[in-house]
A and B are shown apart, each in its own frame.
Chain A
Amino acid sequence: MRGNILIVEDYADWRELLGGMLSREGHEVTAAATLEEARRLLAEIGNLDLAILDIRLAEADETNEDGMRLLSEISMERGFTRVIVISGHGTMEKQRKAFREFKAFDFFRKEQFDSEEFRKAVKDAVEEAARDRRRARESEYILGRRFEMWRKDND
């Protein structure tokens, strides 16, 4: 299944590797290097299935957690979009927070990166997002039909 994917990663090599990997799988991939760029793209893209976020988006800033901020924004505003978090220096604490508070879909560490696992996670996430979207559309349709029928009955 083809998915609509946004990659946010400040390291160009990683951005290009992951982007290339996923577009070769047939996905529609957009990429951003900074928080601002990512926000702009998020506003543009309509049906985003998956966002892949690096936690730290500024190399020099040890406390930077722009990726976590994006994660929280997406989890609050976009019900269907799944998020996979990647990190260069993963700590248990960040991992836990990503899962517990913001319902991240998966977590990958660059120092132990497994491409096949990653491909599988992307596939699952895209499928889940698409399924949720389809179901929502269906229930919306049913609700709409019911309203139509109700209106007819009450005319």
Chain B
Amino acid sequence: MRPDPAPDEIFDPYFLQSIVQHAVHLLGAGGSGFYFRDPGGERAAMVAAFNLPEVPWDESLPGRVIEARKLLEERIAGRAALLASPAALHDDVLGVLVVVDRDPERVFGDRDRAALRSMADLAAAASRQSLRLARMTAQFRALHVIDLALSSSLEPDRVLNLILEKAVELVGAEHGSLRELNPGTGELILRAHHGAGWNERTLAYTPRVGEGVMQWVAKHRRPYLCANVQKDPNYVVLFEDMRSSVAVPLLTSPECRGLKDDFLGVLLLESSRPSAFDRQDVELLDALAQEAVIAIQNARQHQRLQSMHVRLKAEQEKRLAAEKWTVMGQAATSLAHRINNLIGIVPAGAAEIARSLSGLEIPECEREWIDANLGRIERNARFVLKMSDALFRPFKETGPPGLFDVNRLLSEALESCGPHGDVRIVRDFEERLPRIESSMLLVDIFFELIFNAGKAMEGSAEKVLTLRTRAAGGDETRWVTVQIQDTGPGFSGEQAGRMWDIFQQSRNGVGFGLWWIKTFIERHGGAVDCESEPGKGSTFTIRLPVQAHNDPGGET
């Protein structure tokens, strides 16, 4: 409910003071007073007085005037004559103006009556302006509070709730709701609600554009003001016993009006009193709707910036990672080149020594000793070379990067791995996978993982090798995932943690286990992971990024 205005908000005390003084002068009376009608009851209270003589008089007179809605003349025998006029605006009596004459014989003429009447009405008319002013002041205060919230808060829900709360309060509604249009679905999503009576059912109700009052507002882009909704067939009853309804559209700024998406939502208020809202309420709600539009647009802008920020950050991380790998790759190739040059000469030199010595005459025991030492030199140097090869493997370029069909590479790896005896192979391939940018080393990686899976299942009763490929991800980043799953004994979490460790020895003793696989995949912007439980087999998942421009296709 709109809060009842205080008497001094309705009547300007200075103006009333001048009214009562003029009444005394014009009518040549002894004194005058103005009584204010309490809007709640029929009681009247004096709010202005001039020179009222100290005479006891019947204080029920203003009340009776209000009830009678007309001028009353009374006499207090031997002491005073009284004339009282209702201060009325249309049919509404706002107060009573009374004049008192000390002469009990005083007869008020028609002129006196007309003058008093017009002065009382003047007070009523002025009060109406004051009332308007008071409402406008309250509205400006509310708008100011909302503006402060708008410019200081990034939480749209807080601002929208505040806007609605102020709207309900200022127009004296019982319910209010603020809905935002979802342009994709045409639904009007409830963004804020206020007032009593909201429950699970009413909260769940989501009208579409085209339903009820919302339809009218959305279609005409104009406010809807209805004094009695029960007479409007468009009205969708959400709350029982509602009579008045006012709704304004949320429209984008005037320069965007008329465009396809200028309609953002609706602000709707209801009251159980008939004719509860007027044009001034509509004006206010229009202003509030503008504030709501700003809040919604701010929120949308914020959201856009947020997602742009997230995207840029991801891109930057990707670029940094790529730079890091480039530097590491350069260092690795350079180091490999040096090691091969410096250590490669050792076995070659040793072989030359052996060759030279073979033509010389040397005692047998010395020859054996020399051969053994040359053997050690050669063996160890070759081991270092193999280690360097393993270490630099993930950085090796095997030809220019190309676009590869993962399904085909998996099949190739499976083929070169040879038959797995009694292993049942399940190929769960997604057709038309987008191709990924990588190198032929991927085949080696698939080979190694398939080989390991086969080896792990050697003692198992059930031997199933599942190769699975999927395209995943949204518009921003797309992936191809490859899963290599076995029904072997699996391993514990602790073992899984060590699996990618560089110091984990591989089966031939010189490699660095699965370290190179992880390094290679990560170098190409992907990820590799392993899930396993003792007794439940293990699944290796490789995730490879798809370049934005790659279309799904067959052969490269």
Q: Which residue numbers of A lie inside 8 Å of B, CB to CB? A: 11, 13-14, 17, 20-21, 56, 59-60, 62, 88-89, 91-93, 109-113, 115-116
Contacts and interface: CB of A to CB of B under 8 A. Distances in A.
B344 A91 contact: no
B155 to A, nearest CB: 54
| B interface, size bucket | 20 to 34
Interface of B is mostly: helix
B345 interface: yes
A91 B398 contact: yes
Contacts of B352: 17, 20-21, 115
10 contacts: A17-B348, A93-B399, A109-B340, A110-B341, A111-B340, A111-B344, A111-B385, A113-B344, A113-B348, A115-B355
Contacts of A56: 337
A59 B398 contact: no
Interface string B342-353: 011101110110
A93 B351 contact: no
A115 B345 CA distance: 11
Please list the 3 inter-chain residue pairs (A to B) with the smallest Cβ-Cβ separation, ordered nearest first.
Answer: A110-B344, A111-B340, A89-B337
Contacts of A111: 339-340, 343-344, 385, 388-389
B400 A93 contact: yes
A88 B337 contact: yes
Nearest to B398: A92
B336 interface: yes
Contacts of B388: 111
B51 interface: no
A115 B212 CA distance: 93
Contact of A89 (B333, B343, B348): B333
B396 interface: yes
A17 B341 CA distance: 12
B443 to A, nearest CB: 13
Contact of A59 (B330, B337, B389): B337
B340 A92 contact: no
A84 to B, nearest CB: 15
Given A88-B340, A109-B344, 20 more contacts: A17-B345, A17-B348, A59-B341, A62-B337, A88-B336, A88-B337, A88-B344, A89-B333, A91-B396, A92-B399, A93-B397, A93-B398, A93-B400, A109-B340, A110-B345, A111-B343, A111-B344, A111-B385, A113-B347, A115-B348
A21 B343 CA distance: 18
B397 A91 contact: yes
Nearest to B354: A115
A112 B345 CA distance: 10
B313 to A, nearest CB: 31
A62 to B, nearest CB: 6
A67 B284 CA distance: 84
A111 B389 CA distance: 9
A13 B330 CA distance: 24
Contact of A110 (B334, B340, B351): B340
A109 B339 CA distance: 12
B398 A62 contact: no
B345 A89 contact: no
Interface in B375-389: 385, 388-389
Contacts of B343: 111
A83 to B, nearest CB: 20
Nearest to A14: B345
A29 B400 CA distance: 36
Nearest to A20: B352
B498 interface: no
Contacts of A93: 397-400
A92 B400 CA distance: 10
A62 B341 contact: no
B338 interface: yes
Nearest to B392: A89
Contacts of A20: 352
Contacts of B344: 88, 109-113
B317 to A, nearest CB: 26
Contacts of A116: 351
A113 B339 CA distance: 13
A111 B393 CA distance: 14
Interface string B318-346: 00000000000010011011111101110
Contact of B333 (A13, A62, A110): A62
